[in-house]
Amino acid sequence: MALNVGIVGLPNVGKSTIFQAITSAPAEAANYPFCTIEPNVGIVQVPDERIGKITEYIKPQKVIPAVMEFVDIAGLVAGASKGEGLGNQFLGHIRQVSAIAHVVRCFEDSDVVHVAGKVDPLSDIEVINIELAFADLETVEKRISNLAKLMKSHDKKQKDKAAIAAPVLDRLKAALEQGKPARSVEMDEEEREAIKDLHLITIKDMLYVCNVDEDSIGEDNELVKAVKELAAKEGSKVIKICGKIESEISQLETPEEKKEFLSDMGLKESGLDVLVKAGYELLGLQTYFTAGVQEVRAWTFEKGMKAPECAGIIHTDFEKGFIKAEVYHCSDLFELHSEAKLKEAGKFRIEGKEYLPKDGDVMHFRFNV
């Protein structure tokens, strides 16, 4: 699915280090601004212990986990919305992603220069948010200036769309002028659809990623506490990660070595696993499985999709010719251990076109084309 999370932040906050660790992709990481110019793209496996448990009861020839895409976007600076620091190019990259992970520096290190000369995460967040808001404000103002022309269009659909968009554009303009994100503006589905083609940056969901030092991976330092307080007011989520630790973990070769390293650090899972899961949740994604002797595979779908749409993720023919879905939940398999026992217990169901698949469903589709 073409859903991804863009990793943004000021230069030298640890963005590229984190990206390199999460994807094991060769994103250049160096101690100077604008190290990353073109966005790096990485495909990452979604950590999910359920797929391993399924293979304990259904022995496949191969196992294919769910994946998601992360995009490492070059560091923004103050004035980016006016073209500073290759700003227009960078802002264009952010428009293409589905959600944003904003990496914020929450550690002191005299060996790693900060673009502003001091470590102040709230100031960093303000710089990024204002630049993104100003970029969106320019987009909104351009559309407002074209409204009169669109209102006179002979195309009824375009005319109606412009009429719906007019009041919400005014509300967006007022919010963005104050540096507030578009996602803070209340909109119904019809209004949201009417301005969808603007591809506003600040309408995307935001996750704050606090990059901390090793001493702060357990207990929050004051910088992290400040970010969490701000995020709570915005209704945004925060996770904590130590780029240095994650970089070390990424160099280990086997899952056993990584598990031992985490255990020694007193951690249950890596910060990168937390980030991937948070990104998955941020995008409103869930997982269903197909399971058979040939393969056990995790498929990513958007929450709220109906069964035929989920079938279409495998192949468009599955959606076009959808008849029924054979469904059970993986938790029932873990309890009863076989599909035969699932059927005996009445846990194996037949669902139709209106069925809303649940996270963790195991599904087989019947179709006819």
pLDDT in the model for residue 218: 85
Question: pLDDT by residue (tens digit) across 139-177?
Answer: 999 999 999 888 888 888 888 898 999 999 999 999 999
- With DSSP H G I counted as helix, E B as strand and the rest as coil, what are the percentages for the chain, rounded to 5? 45, 20, 35
DSSP 96-160: TSSEEEEEEE----TTS--TTSS--HHHHHHHHHHHHHHHHHHHHHHHHHHHHHHHT-S-HHHHH
From CA 18, how far away is CA 21, in angstroms rounded?
A: 5
Question: pLDDT by residue (tens digit) across 232-289?
Answer: 988 899 999 999 899 898 888 888 898 899 999 888 899 989 999 999 999 999 999 9
pTM of the model: 0.84
CB neighbourhood size of 2 (10 A): 6
pLDDT in the model for residue 77: 56
pLDDT in the model for residue 78: 54
- For residue 138, give the amino acid letter: E
pLDDT in the model for residue 17: 84
From CA 111, how far away is CA 24, in angstroms rounded?
A: 24
Q: What is the pLDDT along the chain (369 residues), one digit of tens a residue?
A: 458 899 888 888 888 888 888 776 443 333 333 333 356 788 888 999 999 999 999 999 999 999 888 888 766 655 544 544 444 556 777 888 999 999 999 998 877 766 666 889 999 999 888 888 988 999 999 999 999 888 888 888 888 898 999 999 999 999 999 988 999 999 999 999 999 999 999 999 999 999 999 989 889 999 999 999 999 988 899 999 999 899 898 888 888 898 899 999 888 899 989 999 999 999 999 999 999 999 999 999 999 999 999 999 999 999 999 999 999 999 999 999 999 999 999 999 999 999 999 999 999 999 998
Q: Using the structure block, give the residue that is written with the tokens 């509300």.
A: 171
Structural domains in the chain plus CATH codes: 4-282 (3.40.50.300), 304-367 (3.10.20.30)
pLDDT in the model for residue 272: 87
CB neighbourhood size of 309 (10 A): 17
pLDDT in the model for residue 34: 35
Strands 67-72 and 40-45: antiparallel
